[in-house]
Structure 1
Amino acid sequence: MRRILNTALIGGGLALLAGGGAALASGGGSSGGSSGPAPSASAPRYDPSVEYAKAVAALRSNQFKAAASAAEHVTDAAPTNPDAWRLLGAAKAGDRDWRGSRKAYERASKLTPDDAEAHAGLGVALANLKDPKAKAEIEWLSARAQACGAGCPEADRLRSLTAAVADAVSAVAAGAPKPSAKLEGSMLFGGAGKGDAAYVQAVSLINEKHYDEALASLSVAAATFGPLPDILTYQGFSWRKKGDYDRAETYYRQALAIDPKHIGALEYYGELKVVRGDVPGAKLMLARLDKLCAYGCADAEELRRWIDVGHDPGKD
């Protein structure tokens, strides 16, 4: 099996994004270049990774309106990214816009039904709206914690999230609603250093074919840095290897909506199309790669090989 991922991205590239500056990552076959994709009708108006970093920075500074504005730029550019909706939910909660927070967390929960932070954020918003459905979120979190068990790595986090929602319900009942600082803090995962470490760990885990563990690490990186095409591509790759082709496709499509010239996403999406029997679709991805790789590139040649044999050549 040829190389899967490239760890050259790490060493400050992602950290620049977390600090609010633009940086192009090279992992997964990014097309490189400093200007990004040319503007077009289909391209997002904002760079979602940069806007995500702005929202995180504003949220940490308690500038909730600015955080919400930047987060909305992310949801506009990447409407199927659950981390963006969670970030918007936290910003709206900080601004005490509970209806806006509820809407954002509802969207995040629909995109990732098993996301405990999204359920907790939704519960806090519902509590502050005096909606009795907040109790259903407490029950969901409690059941998740019980199923997890005392020795589960998520046990402390689930208990904390359950308590945050319960506290909000109690506070509102007593006439003293509180902001959701606990949820905002848990969502940011400790900053750029932890996000970089999670990304590096995910690369190693994927190369070792530990896809469940890799996805967990990628989730930490994604929550830290937002919808970065490299991270999205690796999430798609991992889900493809797990056999969930529909979910894999959503990540590839997100990556290419942000960066239509992302070489890694084009190659891996083309491979997915081969696996699904969509050879014409794979050839379209190859044509885009050939246009980008004027003098040839390993990514295009690998996809060409997949198309020639009609399946994963590694299985021969």
Structure 2
Amino acid sequence: MAVLAGGAAFASAGGGGGVSSSGGMPSESAPRYDPAIEYAKAIAAIKANQFKDAARAAEHVTEAAPKNPDAWQLLGAAKAGDNDWKGSRHAYEKAVKLSPDDVRIHAGLGLALANLKDPKAQAEADWLKSKAQACGDSCPDAAQLKALTDQVQNAMNPTAATPKPSAMLDRSPLFAPSMLFGGAKAGDAAYVQAVSLINERRYDEALASLAKAAEAFGPHPDILTYQGYTWRKKGDYARAESYYRQALAIDPRHIGATEYYGELKAARGDIAGARLMLARLDKLCAYGCADAEELRRWIDAGGDPQRN
């Protein structure tokens, strides 16, 4: 069991179904900030209505993990709390590009645009309405979609009774419950559940659980590695690679991400690339490790798509 930054405890493992805590990439170096720690700082600051501090910590997260939509969403919310609507818009625009189907991100962008009196806010409101109509009154997300749509509409047409977003941000539907209220315990539970679901090959459910863990902890290399592993098992190699690369950008010595990225390269027929990952593993595991041996078997087999 590996204890992670921020107080979370995660299971560690290697080839064939687990994650450990190290890995490597040639052109990437360790970030100045630990994004999981900074993410937790930002959440705590938002809970305390200290939005400038929250924005500062969230900016550190985006610096360390620039391709993580949760990081940009968090920054957008912190900027909104500080009434920095231009900064909020910019952050949410980044987040939408990375996660174009996330309703909370679209709502956050709509809220920022509405407060800037930008007519593009209507497009975001219409997008949310279409999602709500497609969802229907009985779907699990119906209440959330209504709340998000109402929030954007209220910002577009404010009244004297409409509270300022900064005054209600800590209970805003823009946040997933696990982001503000779940804490480390809920994040750990979601992560452990995801591991179990992966072992049962219930990959869509596993991804949902990993998303909850990511909402609680932000861009953590163990979570990112498992997200990559799960997408790889679903056959989406491009998406899997993006998660492996994010994990390695945060922690260039992450063993699990290095092994799995090597397996992905072998499955794609890039044996030379897989050997580079193996060479890094051999350096990380000075006395040998199961992760390196597993990747070595993949290379010796020339890549086995049946074990992707």
Q: Normalising to structure 1: TM-score of the pair?
A: 0.86
Matched-pair identity in %: 68
Q: CA deviation at 1:108?
A: 0.4
Q: Tell which has more relative contact order, 1 or 2 (C-alpha 8 A, sep 6+).
A: 2
Q: CA deviation at 1:41?
A: 7.9
Q: Distance in 2 between matches of 1:106 and 1:313?
A: 37
Q: Who is 1:5 aligned against? A: none
Q: CA deviation at 1:178?
A: 2.2
Pair 1:191-2:182 in alignment: yes
Q: CA deviation at 1:176?
A: 6.3
Q: Could you tell me whether the CA contact under 8 Å between 2:62 and 2:68 is conserved in 1?
A: yes
Pairwise CA RMSD = 2.4
Pair 1:232-2:224 in alignment: yes
Matched to 2:165, the amino acid is P
Q: Distance in 2 between matches of 1:223 and 1:236?
A: 16
After superposition, residues 297-316 of structure 1 pair within 5 angstroms as 297-312=289-304
For structure 2, the 5+ residue unaligned runs are: 13-17
Moved more, 197-206 or 259-268: 197-206
Q: CA deviation at 1:247?
A: 1.0
Matched to 2:193, the amino acid is Q
Q: Distance in 2 between matches of 1:197 and 1:24?
A: 10
After superposition, residues 1-316 of structure 1 pair within 5 angstroms as 8=1, 13=3, 17=6, 25-27=10-12, 28-31=18-21, 42-171=29-158, 178-179=164-165, 181=169, 182-186=172-176, 188=179, 190-192=181-183, 193-312=185-304
Q: Distance in 2 between matches of 1:97 and 1:144?
A: 28
Q: Distance in 2 between matches of 1:221 and 1:262?
A: 19
Deviations 1:142-197 (A, max 9, x none): 111222233322222222211211121121x7796721621454362522232222
Deviations 1:122-160 (A, max 9, x none): 000000001111111111111112222333222222222
Q: Could you tell me whether the CA contact under 8 Å between 2:187 and 2:217 is conserved in 1?
A: yes
Q: Could you tell me whether the CA contact under 8 Å between 1:98 and 1:125 is conserved in 2?
A: yes
SS in 1 for 2:29: coil
Q: Who is 1:4 aligned against? A: none
Rate the CA distance shift 1:217–1:315 in 2: closer, same or farther, 3 A.
closer
Q: Could you tell me whether the CA contact under 8 Å between 1:168 and 1:177 is conserved in 2?
A: no
Q: Who is 1:3 aligned against? A: none
Rate the CA distance shift 1:129–1:139 in 2: closer, same or farther, 3 A.
same
Q: Distance in 1 between matches of 2:39 and 2:108?
A: 18
Q: Could you tell me whether the CA contact under 8 Å between 1:236 and 1:252 is conserved in 2?
A: yes
Deviations 1:239-296 (A, max 9, x none): 1111111111111001001111111100111111111111111111111011111111
- The count of corresponding residues between Structure 1 and Structure 2 is 295
Matched to 1:161, the amino acid is L
Q: Could you tell me whether the CA contact under 8 Å between 1:286 and 1:304 is conserved in 2?
A: yes
Matched to 2:94, the amino acid is R
Q: Normalising to structure 2: TM-score of the pair?
A: 0.88
Q: Distance in 2 between matches of 1:45 and 1:76?
A: 8
Q: Could you tell me whether the CA contact under 8 Å between 1:305 and 1:313 is conserved in 2?
A: no
Q: Could you tell me whether the CA contact under 8 Å between 2:43 and 2:180 is conserved in 1?
A: no
Q: Who is 2:15 aligned against? A: none
Q: CA deviation at 1:51?
A: 0.6
Rate the CA distance shift 1:275–1:41 in 2: closer, same or farther, 3 A.
closer
Q: Could you tell me whether the CA contact under 8 Å between 1:249 and 1:269 is conserved in 2?
A: yes
Q: Could you tell me whether the CA contact under 8 Å between 1:128 and 1:177 is conserved in 2?
A: no
Q: Distance in 1 between matches of 2:268 and 2:140?
A: 35
Which 4+ runs in 1 deviate beyond 4 A? Answer: 23-26, 173-177, 313-316
Matched to 2:291, the amino acid is D
